[in-house]
Amino acid sequence: MKKPTLFTGVATALITPLTKDGVDFDRLGKVIDWQIEKGINALVICGTTGEGSTLSDAEHRAVLDYAAKRAAGKTCLIAGTGSNDTAYAIDLTKYACDIGYDGMLLVTPYYNKATQNGLVKTFTAIADESTKPCILYNVPSRTGVNIEPETYGALADHPMITSIKEANGNLSKIVETVKIVGDRLDIYSGNDDQIVPILAMGGKGVISVLSNVLPTETMEMCNTFFRGDLKGAMAQQCRYLPLINALFSEVNPIPVKAAMAALGYCEDYLRLPLTPMEPAHKEKLLALMRAEGLKV
């Protein structure tokens, strides 16, 4: 049975502005307001780009709470609540459900990894406790394990598992997933360089890093496709590819933090083990941003 679509278009995987003293809530509010002003379709809070893995539990909950209140009723809100500690993921998911989030983003357990059977049991355990739709987030370059198409198939009929953020980079595997799950799960691109290819396979949109910097343009790429202008959407995908590559020239969110700092939305501050962008990479990134008319 087809489940309701959580969002269509672009969800910004939002940065979390930080300083040496902690979360910069003033700037977090400003970046949330700017994204909403631009009409973004959804916001993901405390995901990979939001440095959720280096926030303390108290900080993680405080950021989720602040964003929920700031953006209430203004856009679809998705909480990053996945963890390699399943009990903690369940607890954080229940908290995000209680404070008003529309959906949960559940990353594949990292470091300790899992068998495919372990993934089925883990995601089922979390989704069983969620009262909101869950997006399964597959990013094997970070977690060390891939969610196989057959595993998606085994999870697709869970009433609270509604969609996939697919960042495995393997379009053949994504085609295989589409064949297996049909319309039982919505698929979102987790890679900005594959937005249009995944839309062409029936995807509903993208959970994007690029849209931190270019929200309007990223949404227009999707909207161009949805209007039936495949050639135009392909041209936009190709146009922004150099900037996308620069935003991933070092591990995310190092480059996007540098970009957003240059735009005045945060300090260029990250927590170890992440460090500020290398000067040569940063110079190229800023040059590409200027080429798109951004004042940096």
Give Cα separations from 265 to 159, 227, 272 (angstroms): 38, 32, 20
Give residue-wise pLDDT tens across range 93-134. 999 999 999 999 999 999 999 999 999 999 999 999 999 999
Do residues 231 and 199 touch, judged by C-beta distance below 8 A?
no
Beta strands in the chain (DSSP E): 9-13, 18-19, 22-23, 42-45, 76-80, 103-107, 134-138, 161-166, 186-189, 205-208
Tell me the pLDDT tens digit for each residue of 218-239: 999 999 999 999 999 999 999 9
The pair of structure tokens assigned to 157 is 């009929």
Q: What is the pTM of this model?
A: 0.96
Q: Which residues pair with 163 in a beta bridge?
A: 135, 186
At residue 1 the predicted structure's pLDDT band, cuts being 50, 70 and 90, is low
Q: Which two tokens stand for residue 24?
A: 């910069």
Contact 6, 163 (CB under 8 A): yes
CATH assignment of 9-229, among 3.10.20.340, 3.30.70.20, 3.20.20.70, 3.40.50.1110: 3.20.20.70
Report pLDDT digits (tens) over 149-198.
Answer: 999 999 999 999 999 999 999 999 999 999 999 999 999 999 999 999 99
- Token output for 79: 């909480």
CA angle 217, 223, 225 (to 5 degrees): 110
Residue 247 and residue 254: Cα distance in Å, rounded? 8
- Domain spans in the chain, listed from the N-terminal domain onward: 9-229
Residue 222 near residue 194 (C-beta atoms within 8 A)? no
Decide: 194 and 169 in contact? Cβ < 8 Å.
yes
Catalytic residues: 137, 165
* Residue 172: burial class (beta carbons within 10 Å; 0-12, 13-18, 19+): exposed
